[in-house]
Amino acid sequence: MKKVVLFSFSCVLMMLAVSYTNDQFKSSSLKAAFKHKFLIGVSLNNGQIWGRDTAALKIIKTHFNSVVAENCMKIVSLQPREGQFRFRDADQFVNFGEKNKLFIIGHTLIWHSQTPDWFFVDADGNDVSREVLIERMRRHITTVVSRYKGRVNGWDVVNEAILDDGSWRKSKFYNIIGEDFIRLAFEFAHAADPKAELYYNDFSMAQEGKRNAVVRMVHKLKGLGLKITGVGMQGHLGLDYPKVADFEKSILAFSAAAVHVMITELDITVLQNPGRSMGADISQNYTYKKEMNPYAAGLPDSVAKILEQRYVAFFKLFLKHQNKISRVTLWGVTDGDSWRNNWPVFGRKDYPLLFDRQYKAKPVVQIISEMSLME
Ligand code: 9MR
């Protein structure tokens, strides 16, 4: 009799434990699941920043503890004409982040792309001198970083300055100033807000040439006594590239160079790139053809499964290196928001994020949350 009572009692206890665990997982949000591991962030578009996309707001507030501006802090948005700064959207973005107690990332101070032509030329349309361009950089960075001093937690100071083979991108910044433009950008940003975290951010970071060049750059900046807090590995991934092992090599290499590693701009495309390019070079574009858009009517379960496995493989890697990774940021809230629908072919239907077009969490959200909570 005693044995039967004891047996039933332990059964009840076990059932309670299982249901508690399930409920805990069910109610769990990404930010709760990855607490004490790394920050989990998302990029915001203007519809979200201004609160028009209320369904997305719910997801952002439930699941994420860090935000980055997808577009409103680029030079073209902040200073479309010389000396005419427009801070409306950026101010709203920072207010939103503060109001919701989120770790705020400014993106991006110096980037070859989305910088208006005036930045590089004089009144006659000729390239400006090295001194003039440095002064324009100084003014832009100082104005922007000072405005949000103590409020924006970290800045993507320089974006995409190195090519996949490790050589310098021959941008106007590089051609006019030389590689010094990187050092100067970090100096100006640090002077404007000494406490802000400062990052270098780039895509295709699993490529050996780029990996080695970024490590050299970090050593050089540190050798000069400059502050560089972290390296952002843009996670614009595909179903078959890059290899998880190559991505891991870069996490280890950057961490060994004594900087935090951040996975920034994470999304996984299910579509083929007609150029087979693996990066995120937005100057690449191809004319739309129907056969390039195979999932316009929906994503087959078989492909959704492969996508899920890719997310699981990468989150497994991020969890393995949680002591080196300070943040993982998704590049968009739902599939409908993603730039991937329009690059490198305009008007396709992609499925690269964790939430679908109906604002529903994909099953992988639960899977990666459980993976983290089990650790
Ligand atoms: O997602 C961004 C898209 O909405 C913009 O049109 C585009 C140009 O400003 O930039 C996209 O974001 C890029 C990011 O700023 C830097 N890394 C590559 C991203 C995808 O192109």
Active-site residue among 70, 160, 187, 197? 160
Name the CATH superfamily for 29-281+289-374.
Glycosidases (3.20.20.80)
Q: Which two tokens stand for residue 152?
A: 């924006």
Instruction: Give the closest residue to 196 by CA, choosing from 246, 245, 161, 230.
Output: 230
Question: Which residues have C-beta within 8 Å of that of residue 288, sequence separation ≥ 6?
Answer: 345, 346, 347, 348
> 345 vs 218, 282, 288, 309, CA distance in Å?
34, 10, 6, 25
User: Is 265 an annotated catalytic residue?
Assistant: yes
Query: What is the distance in A from the centroid of ligand 1 to the CA of 273?
Result: 17
Task: For ligand 1, pick from 46, 265, 337 the residue to mutate: most ligand atoms within 8 Å of CB.
Answer: 265
Closest ligand 1 atom to residue 108 Cα is 15
Active-site residue among 265, 291, 308, 375? 265
- Ligand 1 within 6 A of 282 CB? yes
Task: For ligand 1, pick from 70, 156, 171 the residue to mutate: most ligand atoms within 8 Å of CB.
Answer: 70
Q: What is the pLDDT of residue 281?
A: 83
Cα-Cα-Cα-Cα dihedral of 150, 70, 357, 290, to 10°?
-170
Q: What is the pLDDT of residue 87?
A: 98
Q: What is the pLDDT of residues 6-42, one digit of tens each?
A: 455 454 444 444 444 444 445 479 999 999 999 999 9
Q: How far apart are CA 235 and CA 279, in angstroms?
A: 9
How many residues are given for the chain? 375
Q: In DSSP terms, which residues pair with 155 in a beta bridge?
A: 106, 198
Q: What is the pLDDT of residues 267-320, one digit of tens each?
A: 999 999 888 677 788 888 899 999 999 999 999 999 999 999 999 999 999 999
Q: How far apart are CA 51 and CA 92, in angstroms?
A: 10
User: Residue with the nearest Cα to atom 14 of ligand 1?
Assistant: 70
Structure confidence at residue 334 as a pLDDT band (50, 70, 90): very high
Q: How far apart are CA 93 and CA 361, in angstroms?
A: 24
Respond yes or no on whether the N-terminal peptide bond of residue 194 is cis (omega within 30° of 0): no
Q: Which two tokens stand for residue 327?
A: 């943040």
State the helix-helix crossing angle for 301-320 and 363-374, rounded to 10 degrees.
20
Query: What is the distance in A from the centroid of ligand 1 to the CA of 113?
Result: 9
Instruction: Give the closest residue to 44 by CA, choosing from 281, 268, 337, 335.
Output: 337
Q: Which two tokens stand for residue 359?
A: 């604002």
Q: What are the sequence ranges of the domains in the chain?
A: 29-281+289-374
**pTM of the predicted model as reported, rounded to 2 decimal places:** 0.93
User: Is 98 an annotated catalytic residue?
Assistant: no
- Ligand 1 within 6 A of 204 CB? no
Q: Which two tokens stand for residue 256?
A: 């060994």
Q: What is the pLDDT of residues 134-185, one digit of tens each?
A: 999 999 999 999 999 999 999 999 999 999 999 999 999 999 999 999 999 9
Query: What is the distance in A from the centroid of ligand 1 to the CA of 352?
Result: 14
Question: Which residues have C-beta within 8 Å of that of residue 174, sequence separation ≥ 6?
Answer: 161, 168, 181
Query: What is the distance in A from the centroid of ligand 1 to the CA of 52?
Result: 21
> What is the Rg, in whole angstroms, of the alpha carbon atoms belonging to the chain?
22
Single-letter code of the amino acid located at 129: S
